[in-house]
Amino acid sequence: MSKLRVVHYINQFYAGIGGEDKADHKPEVREGKVGPGMAFQQAFGDEAEIVATVICGDTYFNENIESASAEIISMIKQYKPDVVICGPAFNAGRYGVACGAVAKAVAEELKVPVVAGMYPENPGVDMYKKYAYIIETANSAVGMKKAVGPMASLALKLAKGEEIGSPKEEGYIARGVRKNYFASERGAKRAVDMLIKKIKGEDFVTEFEMPVFDRVPPAKPVKDITKAKIALVSSGGPVPKGNPDHIESSSASKYGKYSLAGIYDLNPENGQTAHGGYDPVYANEDLDRVLPVDVLREMEKAGEIGSLHEYWYATVGNGTSVANAKKFAAEIAKDLLAAGVDAVILTST
Amino acid sequence: MVKEIEKTGLPVVHMCTVVPISLTVGANRIVPTIAIPHPLGNPALPREEEKELRRKLVRKALVALQTEVDGQTVFDK
């Protein structure tokens, strides 16, 4: 039997092209395996071969989702894969979105099975889990070895058209697909068994997990913006020069509150970015590109807004856990309310 | 972060480049921006033009803050 054909999608970093300074790298295709492809090839053994690797910079992809997807699909198509592997992206947000979008396009347009790998909090998971099998991974590349095994074995199964087990058995993130099967006991008995376990305080596994709807209804709009106090908050890491609170460049454990007193313009002398997930050159040159203090100060003077709140709040949204982001924002919100702020502009990179 | 602040009743406008992420995260008022490393600027433009671009984006954000919305809304005009 001839070997199954695999095409692998990775970003500029894993291809060894470069870090954030190369994140605008345009899609390219190389024959054979690259970077993490070595580990996948080893896991496939003689059963499958990575015939090509498609590479794209994360920033380029996310700024051009539709055209980049189309270009990548045409590259993948030439190699007639039996299965496509994306990533793993771990907790890298833009990489996760890229992997998810490529996976969706492969599944829908090429009708070829796809396996991706991500950490559950990666935004790519919620966006694309319906369209592809996403193996749950650790939050950083430290988990590469553990990710490759389940990704490779699921990919082989899909390529061979074998039956795929439950999310738990195969290690992928539940896609919301319901499958009928014959249980050994009837429903009423299973429900009562579960209830008894619940009453006893024992562990039980529900047969139908309820989806979590984490939505907040829109707040009422500002009535008169010329009287409103506006606050600036950012996850793009804008901090005073020198990053006095040492906010981490990724997986931030804190946020900062910084005074805007006497600041009418941000510049390389008074501000910089602490964010390690994008090329910092432009923000360090002129931080107004992330936190628009200069124009808001002018608007304040011209009476277009009531006032600019005297502090800004910043953290780094790079691989930062949802739990931490929630905690920071709850504290920030408390502070904003206490200060009589009427509305918030939150910028993200 | 957007949700946690908006929960308290303060309207929040999210200015970001990758709108699909903002939609997934659950922002209600979204203003798309220029690029990931420089959402509110464009280093390719002369300084004054760049500032004008930023002013326009911020004005759009102010309009969003004054607009009643009943669900997630992208202010892309």
For A42-72, letters b (16+ CB in 10 Å) and e give ebbeeebebbbbbbbbbbbbbbbbeebbebb
Range A79-99 average pLDDT = 96
User: What's the mean pLDDT in A312-336?
Assistant: 94
d(CA A183, CA A109): 36
B16 touches A348 (CB < 8 A) = yes
State the average pLDDT over residues A290-306. Answer: 97
Domain end call among A123, A147, A170? A170
Which of helix, strand or coil describes residue A232?
Answer: strand
**What residues in A contact B58, CB-CB < 8 Å?**
292, 295-296, 299, 345
Q: What is the helix (H) or strand (E) element at residue A84, kind and residue range?
A: strand A83-90
Pick the closest to residue A152 from A44, A8, A227 (CA basis): A44
Please compute the mean of the pLDDT values over residues A248-268 and round it to a whole number.
Answer: 96
* C-alpha to C-alpha distance for A42 and A69, rounded to whole angstroms: 28
Which residues form the domain of B69?
2-74
Give the containing element (helix H, strand E) for A135: strand A133-136
User: Do A131 and A66 reside in the same domain of the chain?
Assistant: yes
Choose among A290, A304, A325: nearest Cβ to B40: A290
Chain B contact set for A65 (CB, 8 A) = 18, 20
Consecutive sets of 10 residues in chain B, 77 residues long: mean pLDDT of each?
A: 95 96 93 96 96 97 97 92
Dig out the tokens for B57 from the structure: 């984006």
A187 located within any domain = no
Residue with tokens 């608007």: A299
Distance CA A79, CA A262 (A): 60
> Cis peptide before B37, with omega less than 30 degrees from 0?
no
**What six digits make up the tokens of B29?**
């008022």
Say what the pLDDT of residue A211 is: 65
Angle at A267 between CA A263 and CA A271, to 5 degrees: 75
Find the domain containing A239 and state its range: 225-347
Rounded average pLDDT over A65-85: 97
* Surface of B (9-38) touching A: CB under 8 A: 9-18, 20-22, 24-26, 28-29, 33, 35-38
> Do A149 and A255 reside in the same domain of the chain?
no
Last residue of some domain: A150, A170, A190? A170
Mean pLDDT (whole number) for A137-161: 95
* Residue numbers of B between 37 and 66 with CB closer than 8 Å to A: 37-41, 43, 51, 54-55, 57-59, 61-62, 65-66
Q: Hey, which residues 265-324 in chain A have their CB within 8 Å of chain B?
A: 278-283, 285-286, 288-292, 294-296, 298-299, 304-305, 315, 317
Closest CB from B2, B18, B29 relative to A97: B18
B8: nearest CB among A215, A221, A337: A337
CB < 8 Å & 24+ apart, contacts of A44-47: A44/A4, A44/A6, A44/A152, A44/A155, A44/A156, A46/A3, A47/A3, A47/A4, A47/A156
Distance in Å, alpha carbon of B77 to nearest chain A alpha carbon: 18
Query: Considering the domain boundaries, does residue A87 fall inside one?
Result: yes
Residues in Cβ contact with A54 at an 8 Å cutoff, skipping those fewer than 6 apart:
A7, A8, A9, A10, A27, A28, A29, A72, A75, A76, A102
Residue A175's pLDDT is 87
| Residue A57 belongs to some domain of the structure | yes
Give the span between the Cα atoms of A97 and A103, in whole angstroms. Answer: 10
Report DSSP letters for A191-214, one per residue.
HHHHHHHHHHT-----SSPPPP--
Confidence band of A207 (pLDDT split at 50, 70, 90): confident
Restricting to A residues 116-135, those with a Cβ less than 8 Å away from any Cβ of B are 123, 126-127
Across the interface, whether the CB atoms of A296 and B58 are under 8 A apart is answered: yes
In a domain? residue A66? yes
Residue type, A86: C
- The answer to whether position A192 is within a domain reads no
Structure tokens at A178: 């319901």
- State residue A290's pLDDT score: 98
Number of domains forming the structure of chain B: 1
pLDDT at A194: 94
A12 and A138 inside one domain: yes
How many structural domains comprise chain A?
2
Residues of A in contact with B36 (CB under 8 A): 23, 59, 62-63, 94, 278, 349
Q: Which residues of A touch B32 (CB under 8 A)?
A: none
Mean of the pLDDT values across residues A78-90? Answer: 97
Please name every residue paired with A240 in a beta bridge, in sequence order, or none if there are none: A271
- A 197-226 residues inside an 8 A Cβ radius of B: 214-223, 225
Closest-CA distance, A168 to chain B, in angstroms, reads 24
pLDDT of amino acid A206? 84
Q: Bridge-partner residues for A56, per DSSP?
A: A11
Same domain, A21 and A137: yes
- Cα A112 versus chain centre, distance: 24
Average pLDDT, chain A: 94
Q: Does a structural domain hold residue A269?
A: yes
Distance from CA of B38 to the nearest CA of A (A): 5
Q: Quote the CA–CA distance of A326 and B77 in Å, as a whole number.
A: 30
What mean pLDDT is predicted for residues A6-28? 96
From the list A193, A192, A166, the residue with the least C-alpha distance to A180 is A166
Mean of pLDDT values over A58-84: 96
Q: How far apart are the first and last CA of chain A?
A: 49
Instruction: Please classify residue A141 by burial: count the beta carbons closer than 10 Å to its beta carbon, then call 0-12 exposed, 13-18 middle and 19+ buried.
Output: middle
Residue A71 pLDDT exceeds 90 = yes
Let me know whether A127 and A241 are in one domain.
no
Domain annotation covers residue A181: no
Which of residues A170, A194, A215 is at a domain's end?
A: A170
Element (H, E) at A152: helix A144-160
Q: Test B40 with A225 for CB contact under 8 angstroms.
A: no
Do A9 and A141 lie in one domain? The reply is yes
Nearest to A222 among B11, B14, B43 (CB): B11
Mean predicted confidence (pLDDT) in A28-54: 97
Does residue A177 lie in a domain region? no
What average pLDDT score do residues A223-239 get? 97
What is the structure's pLDDT at A213? 65
A42 plus A162 within the same structural domain: yes
Residues A142 and A264 in one domain: no
Tell me the shortest Cα–Cα distance from B33 to chain A, in angstroms.
Answer: 9
